[in-house]
Chains A and B, each alone.
Chain A
Amino acid sequence: MGKLLVYLHVAVKQRAFQGLLGAGLPGVDTTAVGRVADFERALQDAPDAVLTLPVVLAAQGLTPTLRGLTRGSAEERYGLVGAGSAPEPGKVASVGALDLLGRDGTNRFVRRLVGQQARVERVTKIEDLLPLLQMQRVDAVLLPARLVADLRAASRLALSMRELDLTVGLPAVASTGPGAAGVLGAISKMPKDVSKLLGVEEWR
């Protein structure tokens, strides 16, 4: 049985996500984590494969061997969401974002997308982006455009989105151990509803 480490932020709780992965990847010993520090610790446990965003793989010196695609593309659009009018990238003073890469790495990632002027407020879960807007801690939050519908469904604030020009890589898999081939095979056959949760239609 191969070991898979998953570090992705999805629109369901970690408990539910772990259950879906377990059912969707039979024969694979799957560990899902949601915090970058937990991810870095879990990497020390020698997984056979790692499923996360390419930007996270790159930060660890890993290269994707299997990529998630949607509509034939391995990249997706991100959106900037604010309460009221749609935020202007390049003008937002403060942006809430998922903590993908720790403080410095996440600051760089966010500023590449929205501009160097932005002060970045990091959170560890997708659901924690909404409180940043509700409590008026930031001007806008940054997230994959496909997740904006979930944000809107959870709130009665008048949320507006601006899609960004730059794109971000969809989840991908890196081989890190001798059991990787089996894990990659299982991911390629992952049920469509689980893949969809990751923003992926097919694996190549």
Chain B
Amino acid sequence: MALTRRSFIMGLPALAGGAISCSAGPGERSGAGRDAVLFSTHSTKPGSKSILVCMPETRQTSEVWRGLSDELAQEFELIALRTEGDDVMATIARGMDRYRPAGLVLMNNPTVEGYRRLQAQAASAAFPPAVIVMSSFLEGKPAHLRAATGISYEVPLITVVTNLRKLIATPIDRIGVVHRAALTGFVQRQAALAHREQTAVVREEVSQAPNASEIKRALRRLKQRCDAIWVLNDDRLLTPRLLADGWLHGLNEPPWVPIIVGAASLVSPSQSFGTFAVLPDHTALGAQAASLMLDIADNDWILPNAGATQLPLSTTTTVDLTQAKERFALRPSALAQVDKVLER
């Protein structure tokens, strides 16, 4: 039996973690106050330095750890500390005191916020270089932290479009996006990068706290002018109410255009929303973070390139094949280019 709209929206746990707030779910809060070592590796190299990895315990962070440890375990002692709940700052402080790391890896927004508070409390102290991953809308040089760089969590639009063009046979030249004013700069930078692949971005700006009618209106305007819609992982725009009364209404009416989302939970053959999800490959993200840490180590533990953040290189893709086949012309080789195929 098909999912109802309500059950689809209620079944979006990944979105809560992937959207802009990256707030901890109830399961994560059960570990509050503990600073247990989740994982550790021991280098065979004598006198090797330590890297402290501060992370909540989720499937995605474990994949990042796998990529990190595969790359770094021979060279360094790696210690992964669980950072969850209200005690994040104290957990990081205890870990730094105990292990004296040469570098840190910080995973997700609450961990980064805990580290920011730790730095603020010790304004004159020197901190080792840190690499941030899985933190929303990280761009440029992280201004709120000292000695920090990282990798953005958002898959760049240029990558999203490249992947969509492998799937859909019709030309994909103009991409529509609904966004709040707060994300105008982010969207403009993405548009500039996507321009290299001859992709134009059409923006529809909505208010800071839009209602469902605003979303529907913006989508209807975009669908008249664009070849696909890119849905940002902005939790202010993806509330259950806006999803049910705005997005689902606006998207599930002709003219049909492919809908690209950044959360796997928004692709479901039982309730047509996203056609295609493009997500970071978390194991590859860990390997990319490890390469960044190795570059820092090679640079005498000073951030290279003035600490500029990187974009994620590797992605995984999911397609709602039921929707895609009903509404769009697919390339003959399309399914060989997708990691996960969902079909009713």
Contact = CB atoms under 8 A, between A and B. Distances in A.
- Number of contact residues on A: which range applies? 20 to 34
A103 B311 CA distance: 20
B339 A15 contact: yes
A124 B162 contact: no
Interface in A128-166: 128, 130-132, 134-135, 137, 154-157
A35 B283 CA distance: 10
Contacts of B291: 121-122
- Number of contact residues on B: which range applies? 20 to 34
Contacts of B340: 15
Interface in A111-133: 121-125, 128, 130-132
A1 interface: no
A134 B165 contact: no
Nearest to A125: B314
B18 to A, nearest CB: 20
Most chain B beta carbons < 10 A, residue from A14, A124, A134, A137: A134
B284 A124 contact: yes
A156 B336 contact: no
B223 to A, nearest CB: 23
Nearest to A197: B336
Contacts of A14: 339
Contacts of B165: 154
A16 B314 CA distance: 18
A23 interface: no
A13 interface: yes
B216 interface: no
A142 B13 CA distance: 40
B71 A134 contact: no
A35 B197 CA distance: 28
A12 interface: yes
Contacts of B335: 16
Contact of A13 (B70, B156, B314, B338): B338
A138 to B, nearest CB: 11
A46 interface: no
Given A35-B70, A131-B313, A134-B162, A156 B198 contact: yes
A37 interface: yes
B301 to A, nearest CB: 18
26 contacts: A13-B336, A13-B337, A14-B339, A15-B338, A15-B339, A35-B287, A37-B71, A121-B291, A122-B287, A123-B284, A123-B314, A124-B284, A124-B287, A124-B314, A128-B313, A130-B162, A131-B311, A135-B156, A135-B158, A135-B193, A154-B165, A155-B162, A155-B197, A156-B197, A157-B196, A157-B197
